Structure 1
Amino acid sequence: MDNTEAFACFVPSARWGRSGIVRSRTCVVRCSGDLIPQSHAEVLSGIEKSIKVAMSDGMKLLEVQFPPTATAAASAALNETMDANRRHTRELIRGFTMEYSGRLSVAFPDKGEAVLAQRSWRVDEGEDRFYISTIEAAPRDPNAELFFVLNPGFNVDEYINLENFDDEKRTVVVINGELDRIRGGYYPRIFYPKLHKVAERSLRKFVPIYFFKSYPNRGTLLRSYPGPWRLFYTSGQGEITCLIESEERPSYQEMERILRKAADDERLSSYDDEM
C-alpha cells in the first residue's frame, strides 16, 4: 500500500462539529505488521530479523536506529546512552556469532569504549569468538566479514572513517549513528567539506533497514525491513493509530504536517465531548 490514501485523508473537508468548528478528518490506515515495539527485547528481535533478511538480499551497508534508553534522547546523558548501546549490541550479536565465528567485529568510537567492552563482555558457553576494535582500526582486520559499528558521530571523523568500511564485499551495520543528521544538513558544507564528500561517495549508500524514532506531536516512525515505513500517532490517552504506510520514506515536512493535523483533531474532538 502506498501513502496516497493516508494523504487524501488530510485534504480539508468541511463539516461542523457541535462546537461549530469547521474541520477535516484524520485517516487511520490499516498497517501491516505489528504496532510500536514495547520493549528493547522486541526491538532487538526485529533488528536481528531485518539484518538477516537484508543480508540475504545482498545488501552491504545497513543502518539501525532505535531509542537506546527509556529516557528521551535529548535529555539522556552521553555515558548513559553509550552504556545502553553497548548492552544492546552485546545482545544483538549473539544472533550472529555462531555463523560468523572469527569473522565478526564490533567497532567502537574510541579506544576507551572498546576497552570497556573487552572488560565487560564475556563469550558465552557455546558461543564462538568475535573481535572488538575501534572505528578507525577495525576496517584493517582482514578476517572480518561482518561489522557492527556502534554509535559513530560524536566526533565528525568517526563518520568520515565509515568510508573505510565500504569495499562492497563486507557487511557493515551502523547502530544508532544518527545518519539523519547528515541527510538533513545538520553539518553545513562550508564548515565540513570533507564530511560532505564522504557522504556523497559512501554514507548515502547506507540503507535504514530498522528505524524506530519518536518525533514531536507524539509521532513515531517505524520501519523494519523488508516491511514498509509506518507513521504512528499516540493520543493523550495512549491510543496508537497508524497514519501512513508507504514503501517510500515520508519526508519530515510531511510527517510534521500530518502529526500536527492529528493532534489538532484530537484536541477538537476532546472539546466537542466537553460541550
Structure 2
Amino acid sequence: YVCLSTMSHLQSRFAGRVETVINPARKSPWFTRVTRYGHRQQCNFQGYNYGPERSAVLASANGPTTSARNGAVLDKSAGRMSYKPLSYGEMVNDAVESVMSAIGDGLKWLEVEFPALPTNVDGYKGSSDLFIDSNTQLALAGAKRVAARGRKVHIVLPDGGEYTRTCRIFKNSIQLADGVTFGHLKEWNPPNPLSALLGSGAPSSKEAGEQADTYIFINATCIELLNVRAYVEKMVGSEGQHKVFILWNMELDTLRGDLGLPAFPSKDMHYQFLSRVRPVFYLRPRDYSKSVPAPPFIVNYSGALFREYPGPWQVMLKQDGGEYACIAEDRARYNLGEVKEELTVAMGLATEAEGSAMQFLRRGYKTSTWYEDDYDLEQSHEWRL
C-alpha cells in the first residue's frame, strides 16, 4: 500500500499533468506546479493564511523563477527536481558554485552544510578525528576551487593545537594549494613561548589571515562559536567589508541546540550572530519510521532538507536508488517538524484525521525548536532565507 501510494504521488508530482502540491500543515504562500515537461513554477497562493512572520521573511527573498528539467538545473533559482551527487567531489563543486553565486549577489556571511562522512552517523562528534579530518579535506577541496576563481582563501581551525596537527597531517596538500592558507581562531594572540621549546613546527598564520578575503571556518564546537564571532567581527572592523566568511559543515543546528545551557554561550549567539548567516548550500538527511497496522508493520523512510542558492528550500524524498526527489519547496526555510510532515504526507502515511487526537499524539505538542520560534528576537532573518 505504501509503495503504491508513494508511486502514485510521485507520478502525479512529476508526470502527465499539472499538479498542485500543498500540505495543509505548511502555512506557506508558495505552492509548486509541475508541467508535463518537468518545468517547475512557483506561484503566490493568494488568500492563504500564512501569518506576518513568514510574509516578512518572504518579502526579502528572491522572487520565483522557472526551469528545471529532469533533475538538470538550467536556472538554479528554480531549484532541482532531483538530486543525486555521485561523489563528494561533485557535492563540493555544487557547494562552491552556490558560494560564488552568493558572493556575486553581495552576500558576505554564508553557511555550507552537508554530511562530511559517507556513513549513517548523524551528528557532529567533537572528539572524532575521522570527522575532523574528512571535513578538513572537503574544506580544502572547496577552498582550492574558490581560490581558482581569484580569491585568497584562509581556512580557520578552532585553536593552535588543531592547526599544528592539521599542518603536520596535510602538509603536502597545503603546500600544493595555491591561494589557500590555514590558520586558527587565536592566531591574533601573542605566540606562546612554550611552543618554540616544544617544537610545534607550525608557521605563524597571522599575516596570511590579514591578507585573505575569504575565510572558511571548520570544526568549531558550540563554546568556540564565541571565538568565531570575535574573529569575524575583528576582520569586519579592520576594513573588511569586502571579506567573505563561510561556516563550513559546522552543523549549526546542532550547535544552536546547546545555546543557553549552563557553561555554553547564551541564546544571543543565535539572535545576534548566527541569524545573520545565509545557508547557500544545505543538505541535511533525516531518517524516520512509522508503525502501521498491517505488514510490514514498521515503515522506514528517509529524506532531506535541501537548499542550493539561489534556489528555494526543498524537501526531498529519498528513492530506492539513492536519489532525492523534490516533493515540496518554499522560499523560506522549513523547520524539522515541517520536513517530517511533508515526507509523511508524500509517503501516504498521514492517515490520521486533521485535528484528531491520534494526529496530535503522532506529531506531539512541540514540532519546532526555540530558535525556529523566536522570530521577533532575531536581529536578522538571513538564516531563514
| TM band (smaller chain) | 0.7 to 0.9
**1:38 counterpart SS class:** coil
2:156 maps to 1:104: no
Secondary structure of the 2:146 match is coil
1:130, distance to aligned residue in structure 2 (A): 3.1
Contact 1:235-1:266 within 8 A present in 2 as well: no
Asked if 1:6 is matched to 2:74, the reply is: no
Match of 1:243 among 327, 343, 349: 327
**Which of 235-244 and 81-90 deviates more?**
235-244
Residue 43 in 1 paired to residue 91 in 2?
Answer: yes
Match of 1:145 in 2: 213
Which of 266, 270, 281 is matched with 1:199 structurally? Answer: 270
Q: Which amino acid aligns with 1:171?
A: V
Distance 1:158 1:46 in 2: 28
CA 144–28 in structure 1, closer or farther in 2 if over 3 Å, else same:
same
SS state at 1:255 partner = helix
Does the 8 A contact of 1:149 with 1:174 survive in 2? yes
For residues 269 and 24 of structure 2, the distance between their equivalents in structure 1, rounded to whole angstroms, comes to: 40
Matched, 1:224 2:275: no
Whole-angstrom distance in 2 between the partners of 1:235 and 1:104: 37
Which residue number in structure 1 is paired with residue 282 of structure 2?
Answer: 211
**AA partner of residue 58 (structure 1):** G
Identity %: 21
Q: Is the 8 A contact 2:328 2:342 kept in 1?
A: no
Is the 8 Å Cα contact of residues 160 and 195 (structure 1) preserved in structure 2? no
How much has 1:210 moved relative to structure 2?
0.4
> Which amino acid letter does the alignment assign opposite residue 163 of structure 2?
A
Q: Deviations over 1:70-113 (max 9, x none)?
A: 11233887111111111111111111335556x42111123333
User: 1:168-207 CA distances to partner (integer Å, 9 max, x unpaired)?
Assistant: 6221111111111355xx1252525743223222121011
* Gap change, CA 1:116 and 1:54, over 3 Å in 2: same
Distance 1:39 1:237, change over 3 A: closer
3-state SS of the aligned residue for 2:229? helix
Q: Which has the higher contact order (CA 8 A, sep 6+)?
A: 1
**AA paired with 2:113?**
Q
The answer (yes or no) to whether the contact 1:67–1:73 under 8 Å persists in 2 is no
Larger radius of gyration, structure 1 or 2? 2
TM-score (norm 1): 0.75
Q: Do structure 1's residue 123 and structure 2's residue 175 form an aligned pair? A: yes
* 1:181 correspondence with 2:254: yes
Whole-angstrom distance in 1 between the partners of 2:115 and 2:103: 23
1:54-85: per-residue Cα shift (whole Å, max 9, x none)?
11111111000001111123388711111111
Q: Could you tell me which residue of structure 2 aligns to residue 81 of structure 1?
A: 131
Aligned to 1:160: 226
Tell me the equivalent position of 2:104: 56
Maintained 8 Å contact 1:232/1:244: yes
Q: CA deviation at 1:145?
A: 1.6
Structure 2, gaps ≥5 residues long: 1-18, 27-31, 41-67, 74-79, 190-205, 289-301, 352-385
Q: CA deviation at 1:260?
A: 2.2
Which of 326, 334, 345 is residue 261 of structure 1 equivalent to?
345
Q: Post-superposition, which runs of at least 4 consecutive aligned residues in structure 1 deviate over 6 A?
A: none
The unaligned stretches of length 5 or more in structure 1 are: 12-26, 268-275
Output the CA distance in 1 between the equivalents of 2:165 and 2:272: 32
Matched residue, 1:22: none
- RMSD, aligned α-carbons: 3.2
TM-score (norm. length: structure 2): 0.55
Distance 2:279 2:162 in 1: 24
Please say if residues 115 and 283 of structure 2, whose CA atoms lie closer than 8 Å, have aligned partners that are also in contact. Answer: yes
Distance 1:95 1:189, change over 3 A: same
Rounded to whole Å, the distance in 2 between the matches of 1:104 and 1:55 is: 13
Residues 143, 76 of structure 1: alpha-carbon distance in 2 compared, 3 angstrom cutoff:
closer
Distance 1:257 1:49, change over 3 A: same
- 1:18 is matched with none
- Distance in 2 of aligned mates of 1:99 and 1:240: 30
Over 3 Å counting, the alpha-carbon distance change for 1:115 and 1:247 in structure 2 is: same
Match of 1:136 among 173, 181, 186: 186
